[in-house]
């Protein structure tokens, strides 16, 4: 079966898709219509369903999988689907929403395994116990959640995948600069975005929670270190605990980006730069993959609205 991204203009198709959004609006003729966003693992497309009855509105709500018979068109420069017919997927059909969500390119088990191996390299006992305690507490969310609502790694398992990528970078860097405190850097990487399991509402229809908006994932993660110390009877006044909290709080690098303190430990500065590098590469790669060689990508919000050129001959 084809994916959304593989359809050509004016192609007629029949595909199972997830309803990502379904907004009800009123047309000029006074009747209601539904403005849909459909999704599969390759991307999304919009389409309008005219003259919707109340029953249809409640049947075709967000989060359902449907079988869509449609035609791929272009409207004001953007892809759009003309809906010919649609029905809910049946129980015997592939109707689990998670089948249609974009996800990380690594398997969940492999990521868990790689993470566990790394924890052994955190030789400072406090840090190792704190990291292990928190990961155990939030294992499910940590390996399910995206790393963001939009921008970089905004897909299922994105949080763990981003963390794993950063750990790999971190290990390469520690090999080049031997004076770096590798256990500190690894512990910091693992915990830096963990607050997102409380900042975001989950893997599907991701939204910011109240705590996410009013406290933010940096402080939410820092609190977890504090709670872990309580549970593990580790004195929070110890230098290594203060430093680990600092790694998490300082990782946005600048106050303007929401860190309440700027990095004041060498490894905290490096953590910030690794985070920035992995996020930039992910954003650029995901735009470049959708761009023809010889063309420019769309403007990337997270990279100050720059568009990037994709070379064709080299």
Radius of gyration, alpha carbons of the chain: 23
Residue with tokens 């299922």: 156
Of the candidates 95, 168, 202, 302, which one interacts with a second copy according to CB under 8 A?
168
Quote the least distance from Cβ 230 to a second copy, whole Å. 7
With CB under 8 A as the contact rule, the residue among 55, 176, 235, 292 that binds a second copy is: 176
Q: Which is nearer to a second copy, 163 or 259 (CB)?
A: 259
Stretch 42-81 residues interacting with a second copy (CB under 8 A): 73-77
DSSP the chain: ---GGGPPTT-EEEEEEEEEEEEEEE-TTS-EEEEEEEEETTEEEEEEE-S--HHHHHHT-TT-EEEEEEEEEEETTEEEEEEEEEEEPPTTS---GGGGS-B-SS-HHHHHHHHHHHHHT--SHHHHHHHHHHHHHTHHHHHH--S-SSSTT-SBTHHHHHHHHHHHHHHHHHHH-TTS-HHHHHHHHHHHTTTHHHHB--SSS--B-HHHHHT-HHHHHHHHHHHHHHHHT--TTSHHHHHHHHHHHTTT-SGGGT-SS---SHHHHHHHHHHHHHHHHHHHHHHHTTS-TTSBPPPBGGGTTB--B--S--
Among the listed ranges 55-63, 97-105, 133-141, 250-258, the one in contact with a second copy (CB under 8 A) is: 250-258
Q: Cβ closer to a second copy: 96 or 257?
A: 257
**Is-contact 292 310, C-beta < 8 A?**
yes
Window contacting a second copy (CB under 8 A); options: 90-98, 99-107, 141-149, 271-279: 271-279
Does 260 sit near a second copy (CB under 8 A)?
yes
Q: How far is the CB of 192 from a second copy (least distance, A)?
A: 14
Return the range that interacts with a second copy (CB under 8 A); candidates 53-61, 136-144, 151-159, 223-231: 223-231
Nearer to a second copy, 96 or 205 (CB): 205
**Closer to a second copy by Cβ: residue 158 or 263:** 263
For position 177 contacting a second copy by CB under 8 A, the verdict is yes
Q: Closer CB to a second copy, residue 96 or residue 123?
A: 123
Considering only residues 222, 228, 251, 271, which one is a binding residue for a second copy as defined by CB under 8 A?
222
Near a second copy in 108-167, by CB under 8 A: 124, 127, 165
Q: Please identify, among the stretches 39-47, 95-103, 132-140, 243-251, the one whose residues bind a second copy according to the rule CB under 8 A.
A: 243-251
The residue within the footprint of a second copy, chosen from 257, 290, 299, 301 (CB under 8 A), is 257
């Amino acid at each position: 079966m084809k994916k959304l991204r593989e359809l050509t203009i004016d192609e007629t198709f029949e595909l199972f898709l997830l309803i990502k959004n379904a907004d009800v609006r009123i047309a000029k003729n006074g009747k209601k219509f539904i403005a849909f966003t459909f999704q599969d693992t390759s991307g999304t497309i919009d389409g309008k369903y005219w003259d919707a009855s109340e029953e249809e509105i409640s049947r075709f709500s967000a989060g359902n999988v449907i079988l869509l018979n449609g035609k791929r068109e272009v409207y004001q420069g953007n892809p759009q689907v003309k809906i010919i017919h649609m029905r809910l997927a049946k129980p015997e059909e592939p109707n689990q929403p998670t089948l249609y969500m974009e996800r990380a390119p690594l398997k969940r088990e492999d990521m868990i395994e790689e993470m566990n191996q790394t924890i052994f390299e955190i030789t400072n006992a406090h840090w190792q116990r704190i990291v292990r305690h928190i990961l155990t507490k939030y294992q499910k969310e940590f390996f399910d959640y995206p790393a963001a609502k939009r921008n970089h790694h905004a897909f299922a398992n994105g949080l763990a995948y981003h963390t794993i990528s950063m750990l790999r970078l971190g290990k390469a860097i520690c090999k080049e600069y031997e004076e770096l405190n590798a256990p500190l850097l690894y512990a910091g990487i693992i915990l830096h975005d963990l607050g997102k399991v409380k900042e975001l509402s989950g893997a599907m229809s991701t939204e910011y929670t109240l705590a996410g908006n009013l406290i933010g994932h940096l402080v939410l993660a820092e609190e977890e270190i504090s709670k872990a110390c309580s549970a593990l009877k580790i004195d929070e006044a110890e230098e290594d605990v203060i430093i680990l909290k600092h790694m998490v709080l300082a990782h946005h690098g600048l106050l303007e980006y929401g860190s309440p303190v700027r990095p004041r430990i060498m490894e905290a500065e490096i953590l910030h730069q690794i985070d920035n590098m992995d996020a930039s590469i992910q954003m650029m790669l995901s735009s470049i993959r959708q761009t023809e060689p010889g063309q420019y990508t769309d403007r990337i919000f997270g990279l100050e609205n720059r568009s990037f050129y994709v070379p064709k001959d080299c």
